[in-house]
Chains A and B, each alone.
Chain A
Amino acid sequence: MADVVRESVFRLQFPFQRTLGPTVGAFASALADQTLIGVKVGDRVITPPLEYDPENGAAAGTDFVKVGPKGTVTGWTWVPEPTHLHPLQKPFAFAFVTLDGADTPMFHAVDVDSADAMSIGMRVEPRWRSERQGRIDDLEAFVPASDGGPSEGAGDPWSAPEELPVDAMEMFCDLTYVDNTAPATIIWMKSLLEGKLIGQKCPQCERIYVGPRGMCCVDAIELDESHLVDVPDKGVITNFTVITPTPYPGQTETEPFARCSILLDGTDAVLNQQAMLDVDAYDIRVGMHVECVWAPPEERNVDDVGNRGWGVAGDCMRGWRPTGEPDEPEENYVERMM
């Protein structure tokens, strides 16, 4: 029998695309062209450009000027152990760099060998990536300026092209969670591995929750092991939906399939989102008697069972199949979706 998972690593990843608009898009387009720009707002040049005047919220306009490429460090900190999100995979500095011609600093990385090489007032210049896509990390990092003199062209006007070459930005979110399993979930996992269904019965309202969730959400009281009850692995379909699969990341289904709500016999407990076996999705009916098809003990595992969603049975259960008994009257179940 597979072991009960007490801790699971959960990796949350998703891609998304941001549209940039006329201000950030202009900055991104300039970056792709190895140029840094700011926007004139009142008597200040703000870099990177902002869409609004931070003083009063008024539209900042598009009076762009070239800034840098050299700048002055106005603050810094040392990052001894970079994470996978950082622009450099070696120790480096994060700094506030005020570019020549700008009145506000920009936050970026400085690539030097040690913290000893960093100081406020030091002059830096960009090191560009050879392949640029119009993102702030096209500028891979600032490095000490080979010549500390003023930048040429800083403050010169810069006009955005009529159609911005870069008007969107791809991002990828990648976060890792280490989730520990709640005690009620562990009890549920153990019962699944044994091929049986259990719930918790509220002593006040006598509702049964399958699987156990450690509380009655109607009476708002805590439930514990003394409230555990065995429940049958047979029931009646109270509701269903037939899903026509559309392709999206992670989708493995290709043909229409059903997900059913099943009211377990002799209880108030409805299991939701259950898969069906041995029946065409379009032949499923409310009132149909079904029974659980358990996986053989050696194939059961609870890797997919966690605190994120009640009633998930991992690979312990293959699904549910019709028993062949005559249907119950459909009208008896119309209010039993949950």
Chain B
Amino acid sequence: MPRTENDIAIVGYAISPLVRRTEDTETLMMLPTVQGAIKSAGLTKDDIGFTVSGSCDYLSGQAFSFVSNVDAYGAWPPINESHVEMDGSFALYEAFVRLLQGDIDTAVAAGVGKNSNSDPSTLYTIEMDPYYLTPLGADPWSLHALQYQALLESGKATERDVAEVVARNRAAAKDNIHAQVSGDFDVDELLAADYIRQPLRRHDLPPTTDGCAAVVLARGKRAYDLCERPAWITGIDHRIEPHLPTLRDLTTSVSTTQAAKGAGAGDGPIEVAELHAPFSYQELILRESLGLDDQTLVNPSGGALAANPVMVTGIIRMIEAARQIMENGKRRTLAHTTSGPCLQQNLVAILEGDA
């Protein structure tokens, strides 16, 4: 398909070490990652038309923590900069929309999260409904255990199916230099482990990870100047469901189905899908909601179970889906990001390489 000046592609990227705990601040993680992504596209910081990042003040426990992260961009002379209090993939979405305005032809989107400072079981109660959930200490483990149980009750999956998801992702992660958790695991041994929150076991939870990732986007002809095989974002869509999990059928993800439709997922075969499923069983819900069959390779990177830097996990899915095109010669891939409790919000992007 001939590309127009309004087509936008991923042309460069960088991922920081993804580790249980880093000594660096968010800003110090961002500097080499953002500059590394820019360099990977053969650019310098002065070439970038727009910069946007995703991070969360509650992770760092500091108001306006993203302001000091701007230091990582080299913001002199002054730059165009924006921030979303969300995963870096939503920052990428903003960069995509900004590029569609047509007056600039490059942008950088990044995500950063230092998760090791805080306790996920208490921190994320703050993101829940403040009237009906936060006062009860509704923690993500409990809510996700309830979602997992609903899936089991529906008969759509068994605990063995879910343990197989864990084993497959961890095995796939052996080939991922960025993986924090990987290896060969026996399904029966996984099923023998104790419950953290019945029916969730420790291995069904994502690891706590510090990390940063950045991508460079380019528009039209510029993408070909910067990259031999750009990963064109042919569709991107984001849908949100009610924030209270009690108002949704937790065994399916309507917003994922809608976002996939909006992004044009059904317009052709998908060779690889990188799904953001921080809790193992969610991969099964997402596969069904996306209508993926065995023709699609899911999470060859190991997904969020291999490394889960919150605010970065989604943009890494974008990078992994883009890498399949830029480096592995694939034609059409899908990247997915989730946010909010029990798959509340979902973003789907379709990436394509030239024939």
To the question of whether A and B form a pair in one complex, the answer is: yes
Does chain B have a CB within 8 A of A78?
yes
In the complex, the answer to whether A137 meets B135 with C-beta atoms within 8 Å is yes
Q: Which of A176-184, A229-237, A264-272, A322-330 lies at the binding interface?
A: A176-184
Q: Which of A82-90, A124-132, A291-299 lies at the binding interface?
A: A82-90
15 inter-chain pairs at a CB distance below 8 angstroms, sorted by A residue, are: A10-B61, A20-B131, A50-B242, A54-B244, A85-B139, A136-B135, A175-B122, A178-B117, A180-B21, A214-B28, A218-B74, A220-B35, A220-B73, A221-B35, A308-B62
Does chain B have a CB within 8 A of A106?
yes
Which of B23, B71, B118, B143 contacts A183 (CB under 8 A)?
B23
In the complex, the answer to whether A85 meets B137 with C-beta atoms within 8 Å is yes
State the Cβ distance, B130 to closest chain A Cβ, in Å. Answer: 6
Q: Mark B52-84, 1 if CB is under 8 A from A, else 0.
A: 000000101110000000111111100000000
CA distance A307 to B198 in the complex (A): 38
In the complex, the answer to whether B136 meets A215 with C-beta atoms within 8 Å is no
In the complex, the answer to whether B133 meets A182 with C-beta atoms within 8 Å is no
List the B residue with the shortest CB-CB distance to A109.
B136
State the Cβ distance, B126 to closest chain A Cβ, in Å. Answer: 7
In the complex, the answer to whether B71 meets A215 with C-beta atoms within 8 Å is yes
Does chain A have a CB within 8 A of B197?
yes
> Could you say which residues of chain B place their CB within 8 Å of the CB of A211?
none
Instruction: Knowing A20-B131, A77-B198, A107-B246 are in contact, say whether A182-B25 is a contact too (CB < 8 A).
Output: yes
Does chain A have a CB within 8 A of B294?
no
State the Cβ distance, B243 to closest chain A Cβ, in Å. Answer: 9
Residues of A within 8 A of B (CB): 10, 12, 18, 20, 24, 27-28, 46, 48, 50, 54, 75-79, 82-87, 94-96, 104-109, 115, 120, 135-137, 169, 171, 173, 175-184, 213-222, 307-308
Most A CB atoms within 10 A — which of B73, B143, B199, B244? B244
In the complex, the answer to whether A182 meets B28 with C-beta atoms within 8 Å is yes
Within 8 A of A (CB), among B269-327: none
Instruction: Knowing A78-B198, A83-B122 are in contact, say whether A120-B153 is a contact too (CB < 8 A).
Output: yes
Residues of B within 8 A of A (CB): 21, 23-25, 27-28, 31-32, 34-35, 45, 58, 60-62, 70-76, 116-119, 121-123, 125-126, 130-139, 142-143, 145-146, 149-150, 153, 195, 197-200, 241-242, 244-247
Number of A-B contacts (CB under 8 A): 153
Instruction: Knowing A83-B139, A106-B246 are in contact, say whether A136-B118 is a contact too (CB < 8 A).
Output: no
Instruction: Knowing A12-B61, A50-B244, A83-B122 are in contact, say whether A171-B135 is a contact too (CB < 8 A).
Output: yes
State the Cβ distance, B123 to closest chain A Cβ, in Å. Answer: 6
State the Cβ distance, A25 to closest chain B Cβ, in Å. Answer: 10
In the complex, the answer to whether A222 meets B247 with C-beta atoms within 8 Å is no
In the complex, the answer to whether A106 meets B132 with C-beta atoms within 8 Å is yes
Which of B23, B61, B71, B130 contacts A175 (CB under 8 A)?
B61
Which of B25, B138, B247 contacts A94 (CB under 8 A)?
B138
> Could you say which residues of chain B place their CB within 8 Å of the CB of A24?
131
CA distance A171 to B35 in the complex (A): 41
In the complex, the answer to whether B131 meets A136 with C-beta atoms within 8 Å is yes
> Could you say which residues of chain A place their CB within 8 Å of the CB of B241?
54
In the complex, the answer to whether B246 meets A136 with C-beta atoms within 8 Å is no
> Could you say which residues of chain B place their CB within 8 Å of the CB of A217?
70-72, 74-76
